[in-house]
Structure 1
């Protein structure tokens, strides 16, 4: 996130790190990276650097306690994958002094601590051709590690987040939206693409029924293994941001590897050969479409509601245009 969280002071973070991890902080610097969580670089009094993430528990629907429990379960899964399954590419959280994967900073915010990984960070978009084979091997290893994750990972919900908000927006296109400076421009943009979005929702509903029918044999998936969540470490790729880890069809990960790749068919054949599991093209299409619709729904709900003119809001408007301007 480019903007710091509202009303959040570094002193609160420093106190949480001392209490939860026993860290005495020498320097703390906000890092305007990523989307969805807030990040800091921290150096302790011993000269060790840490990467610290703060999650706003109000960013998700539902009670804060439920959101925190889901985050704790996901990061606990990452910890198990690193410690119990021995997956070195998993950049797992550093446990608190009590062994927890994440701590409550205050009623609204949660904090987690990660080792600083040296290397070249990727950018969101298609995987580089030179990386695809290694990413495939990484996903094969992750999916095979499912038995070692035990009961920790939650099952992914294949339904669409913010579906109700998108539905409400589609039924309110005939009157002005007043949530903020981008609200009515969002209404006009969506109005011009409403039929397209409704068609996508129909396709999604048919696909999600298919995915639900095959809910046995799901595996541990990262959920967002795109280049922006990969770091090129001297010893190989490292995968970060495990908040989205869930039990799901393997296609939840595979579509991000193969989308736009000229060797997609070969990669999928290699996955099937390595795992003994053929790839389901309908599930692959479902997770690609789910990503697009979840972004559209999330941005519409955000920009229809109360908002200002900050950099993160401007980014949401830009990304929404990217999806809807490309619509036929």
Structure 2
């Protein structure tokens, strides 16, 4: 997240890392990077770690985060070089439950760490260059051909058949939960028909995907440019919290937008499924965000802009969509 968390401070982060990973850790620096989780740089003067605090929500629970990070570590141990593997605690787990000040439940989350990578993250433009696209295609092919780790969770729809109706009910009356609440509610209410159609199509395609469960592979879930680091040892993918067994097309949207369709030859129906999976899960997350207490921070404004984007008409990813969303 771009803003510091209000429920936990840098000292508490350093103390937790020292207790479970790096005994002499004394310094934690908040990093305003990414969106959706909080990050810190923690050091003991010799070793530096990248620390992530994930908060439970619709996408994951504490148990699913532990399984995802353990699965990523298992893939790295099996030789999947693209994985920047989380580091285990001294007890062997990969996450530690933390709470905010004075045990505040609203500050609960799961802390994890990875080695600090020396390298650079490509810009979106750089990530679209043909040579880079080929690197990512090759890296994902290695991931998709890997033996699934024991305990790896299977992808499942993040919304159910009642989502559109529940959303209509939630947006039928004014929201007073914060300064951006009404703007979000009005935008959602205005797109109720589209959300209902998208949801219906999504659930149909999810059934198709489940009928092909024997073809599912380990997938990263969000291998976009912001989760890529170019190091002296090659391309690394970070942020493995979404690791899951799924159709391989789950990892393809950004590559298709960069023109890699001939290399990937995806199933258009599965591309539609995961375009909708992202769109509808984002809409659900931002609905919860703005229906709940918020104060109008920079993160709140970023979230509202992203909600508006998800409510727009979907782009034609394949050039000629064979399974229309509408």
Aligned equivalent of 2:259, options 259, 262, 285: 262
Instruction: Kindly report which structure 2 residues correspond to 1:49-68, keeping only aligned pairs within 5 A, or say none.
Output: 49-57=48-56, 59-60=57-58, 67-68=61-62
Residue 143 in 1 paired to residue 144 in 2?
A: yes
Whole-Å Cα distance in 1 between the matches of residues 185 and 123 of structure 2?
30
1:84-111 Cα offsets, whole Å, 9 max, x none, are x112221111221222222223472322
Equivalent residue, structure 2, for 1:11: 11
Of the candidates 64, 67, 70, which is equivalent to residue 64 of structure 2? 70
Q: Counterparts of 2:209 and 2:98 in 1: how far apart (Å)?
A: 37
What SS class does the counterpart of residue 28 from structure 2 fall into?
Answer: strand
Distance 1:187 1:37 in 2: 24
The answer to whether 1:251 aligns with 2:249 is: yes
SS at match of 1:97: coil
Partners in 2 of 1:42 and 1:305 — Cα distance?
Answer: 31
Q: Structure 1 pair 81/191, CA: closer, same or farther in 2 (3 Å)?
A: same
8 Å CA contact retained: 1:166, 1:300: no
Q: How do 1:1-328 and structure 2 match up within 5 A?
A: 1-45=1-45, 47-57=46-56, 59-60=57-58, 67-83=61-77, 85-106=78-99, 108-123=108-123, 127-129=127-129, 130-147=131-148, 149=149, 151-157=150-156, 159-161=157-159, 167-258=165-256, 260-264=257-261, 266-269=262-265, 279-326=266-313
Deviations 1:137-178 (A, max 9, x none): 11110011125x2x2311111x13487565323234443222
Q: Are the structure 2 counterparts of residues 22 and 196 from structure 1 closer, same or farther at C-alpha, using a change threshold of 3 Å?
A: closer
Runs of 5+ unmatched residues, structure 2? 315-325
TM-score normalised by length of structure 2: 0.86
Count of equivalent residues: 307
Q: Say which SS state the counterpart of residue 252 (structure 2) adopts.
A: helix
Residue deviations 1:96-130 (CA, integer Å, cap 9, x gap): 12222222234723221111111111356894133
**2:311 partner SS:** helix
TM-score of the aligned structures, taking structure 1 as reference length: 0.85
Aligned with 1:112: secondary structure?
A: strand
Which runs of 5 or more residues in structure 1 are unaligned?
Answer: 270-278
Q: Distance in 2 between matches of 1:320 and 1:237?
A: 31
